[in-house]
């Protein structure tokens, strides 16, 4: 206790009381006392009219978001809120998110820099996070620029939804990288990443309040501009494939003009695919074609964000092969295990086999990963076991392709359509089941999902003799709002009568959307299917059509330029 000695004539108006706590002074409080007056209470400032209006605007704008408290507390701080339009408020929210993404990226870099004893898997997961956060910044900046452009078409709003959906997916992918880590890094980054995802979710929800977007919206946050209208059969590919690209894809190999040639025998410009990709121009606005001659290329290839409009043409399935065996058991994250990975937008591949031959006992081992918007694959093969094809994010299209695997062998959170493809379940490990899809939609406002149209689901050659020993399912819910549909497909007898498998107990069973529409084959009988709240047998052609190429990935806006055949609508 600190004692203060008073003089003989103390001041009756003021006594200074000092409180000490060990080991330091915790507070010094000055109390003004008077024998005539009580203690003075300082009143809280009354809210101004401006702050009340800001709060009201924020509350109205944030109505319907999943994280309203965060939304209101963020928006109410924006200056001149009364003068901002809804797109400007959304842009400001996204801009606020960019600042937080940069802080998270710096946080990850700081952990790498200051903790040298990190386990190798933690280091790799942090490297993944830095790349994913960088992609998030690029996607969010595009959203801000697009919102500032004052565009009002349905396609424009679908572009915004796609970019925001992809940006949100990146944060969860970052955290997924620590699933097998033995360290304690995740808690140091998780809260920041969750907050970023919540901001982006709120932006997605607010976007639906814009009249042009709302007029085009149909349930669950999707924008289907032609939903409910007659769909004209155009044949071929989604419209985002240009006429020039369509000619490239339909042309024979010896009739295609190439910018670079890769050949193992030294007869081309390069002997490895990685060298050719590195030599391709950055930020290209025109198609750049690399011809990869027949042969097996044992390498891991990554097409970075700056490598846009790239096309790889091979000599055909089983002739031009890209192979490697990275896997989780040997110390790779699932994200980084991919034999071939692409992020640069507008990527196309034709006539190539992508393989991860790690084997079923090595668990997650990706053959191909795409986070490329408007990516398309024609007459390609993807071979692996668990997690063969990682359809990570944004819009993707697969036509006349073969996909082989065991556990969750098509997975991710893209808006993706498989059309006229063959999905082959292989022989897994003795303690495993085959699950064809594991869709990763985290948020009900994300415009993502897996749409499988006019495909064949069958047993691969190695499974056929032992098919009765292993159960095979159409999918299971990797994330809370998992969404997958099978439409007009031929489902073989390998598929269990229940059709679908739980992920863990009741997780996501009422929030997922799994549907089947007019499938055929011995495995298509739905009488013994699961009875989950989120599963349904689709009987309405209008509902089914929202998952067509033309509607689900707005294929008519980009596929025609690629010269890949596609059916924009459901044909029966």
The H or E element containing residue 439 is strand 434-439
SS3 of residue 60 by DSSP: helix
- The CA–CA distances, whole Å, from 42 to 31, 35, 45, 46, 307 equal 13, 19, 9, 12, 62
Euclidean distance between CA atoms 484 and 417, whole angstroms: 10
Chain centroid to Cα 361, Å, comes to 27
Q: Which residues contact 81 (CB under 8 A, 6 or more apart)?
A: 53, 54, 57, 58, 75, 89
**Residues linked to residue 322 through DSSP beta bridges, in sequence order:** 297, 354
The count of residues in the chain is 572
The active-site residue, picked from 324, 373, 402, 408, is: 408
Using an 8 Å Cβ cutoff, are 328 and 365 in contact? yes
Closest by Cα among 433, 340, 428, 425 to 390:
340
| Cα torsion 102, 107, 112, 113: sign | positive
SS3 of residue 58 by DSSP: helix
Strand order in the sheet with 288-292: 260-262, 288-292, 310-314, 348-350, 375-378, 395-399, 415-419, 449-453, 483-487, 513-517, 535-537
Q: Which residues contact 280 (CB under 8 A, 6 or more apart)?
A: 259, 260, 288, 290, 307, 310
Closest by Cα among 216, 239, 231, 242 to 160:
216
SS3 of residue 235 by DSSP: coil
For 197, phi then psi, to 5°, come to -60, -35
Closest by Cα among 257, 243, 259, 203 to 87:
203
Judge whether 408 counts as a catalytic residue.
yes
Euclidean distance between CA atoms 222 and 545, whole angstroms: 13
Using an 8 Å Cβ cutoff, are 488 and 456 in contact? no
In the 3-class helix/strand/coil scheme, how is 543-572 assigned residue by residue? HHHCCCHHHHCCHHHCHHHECCCCCCCCCC
Closest by Cα among 517, 546, 549 to 234:
549
So which residues are the catalytic ones? Answer: 408
């Amino acid at each position: 206790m600190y004692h203060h000695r008073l003089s003989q004539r103390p001041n009756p108006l003021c006594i200074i009381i000092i409180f000490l706590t060990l080991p330091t002074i915790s507070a010094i409080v000055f109390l003004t006392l008077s024998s005539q007056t009580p203690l003075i209470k300082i009143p809280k400032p009354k809210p101004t009219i401006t702050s009340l209006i800001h709060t009201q605007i924020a509350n109205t704008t944030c109505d319907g978001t999943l994280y309203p408290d965060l939304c209101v507390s963020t928006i109410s701080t924006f200056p001149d809120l009364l003068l901002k339009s809804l797109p400007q408020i959304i842009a400001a929210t996204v801009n606020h998110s960019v600042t937080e993404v940069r802080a998270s990226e710096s946080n990850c870099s700081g952990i790498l820099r200051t903790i040298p004893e990190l386990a190798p898997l933690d280091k790799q997961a942090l490297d993944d996070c830095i790349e994913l956060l960088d992609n998030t910044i690029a996607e969010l900046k595009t959203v801000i620029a697009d919102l500032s452009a004052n565009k009002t078409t349905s396609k424009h709003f679908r572009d915004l939804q796609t970019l925001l959906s992809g940006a949100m997916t990146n944060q969860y992918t970052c955290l997924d990288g620590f699933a097998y880590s033995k360290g304690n890094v995740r808690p140091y980054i998780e809260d920041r990443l969750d907050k970023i995802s919540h901001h982006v979710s709120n932006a997605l929800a607010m976007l639906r309040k814009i009249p042009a977007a709302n007029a085009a919206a149909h349930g669950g946050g999707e924008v289907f501009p032609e939903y409910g209208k007659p769909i004209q059969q155009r044949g071929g590919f989604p419209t985002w494939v240009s006429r020039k690209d369509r000619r490239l894809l339909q042309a024979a190999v010896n009739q295609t003009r190439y910018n670079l040639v890769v050949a193992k025998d030294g007869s081309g410009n390069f002997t490895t695919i990685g060298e050719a990709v590195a030599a391709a121009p950055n930020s290209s606005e025109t198609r750049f074609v690399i011809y990869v001659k027949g042969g097996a290329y044992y390498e891991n290839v990554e097409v970075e964000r700056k490598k846009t409009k790239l096309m790889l043409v091979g000599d055909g399935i089983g002739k031009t092969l890209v192979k490697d065996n990275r896997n989780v058991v040997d110390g790779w994250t699932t994200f980084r295990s991919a034999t071939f990975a692409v992020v640069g937008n507008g990527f196309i591949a034709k006539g190539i086999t992508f393989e991860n031959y790690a084997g079923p006992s090595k668990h997650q081992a990706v053959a191909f990963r795409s986070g490329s918007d408007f990516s398309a694959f024609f007459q390609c093969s993807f071979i692996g076991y668990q997690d063969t094809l990682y359809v990570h994010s944004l819009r993707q299209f697969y036509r006349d392709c073969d996909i082989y695997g065991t556990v969750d062998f098509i997975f991710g959170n893209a808006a993706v359509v498989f059309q006229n493809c063959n999905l082959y379940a292989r022989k897994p490990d003795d303690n495993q089941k085959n699950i064809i899809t594991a869709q990763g939609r985290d948020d009900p406002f994300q415009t993502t999902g897996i749409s499988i149209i006019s495909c064949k689901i069958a047993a691969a050659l190695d499974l056929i003799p032992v098919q009765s020993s292993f159960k095979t399912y159409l999918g299971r819910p990797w994330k809370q709002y998992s969404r997958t549909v099978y439409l007009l497909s031929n489902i073989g007898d390998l598929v269990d009568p229940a059709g679908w498998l739980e992920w863990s107990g009741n997780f996501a069973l009422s929030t997922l959307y799994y549907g089947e529409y007019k499938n055929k084959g011995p495995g298509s009988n739905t009488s013994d299917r699961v009875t989950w709240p989120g599963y349904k047998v689709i009987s309405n052609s209008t509902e089914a059509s929202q998952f067509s190429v033309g509607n689900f990935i707005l294929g008519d806006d980009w596929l025609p330029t690629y010269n890949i055949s596609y059916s924009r609508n459901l044909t029966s």
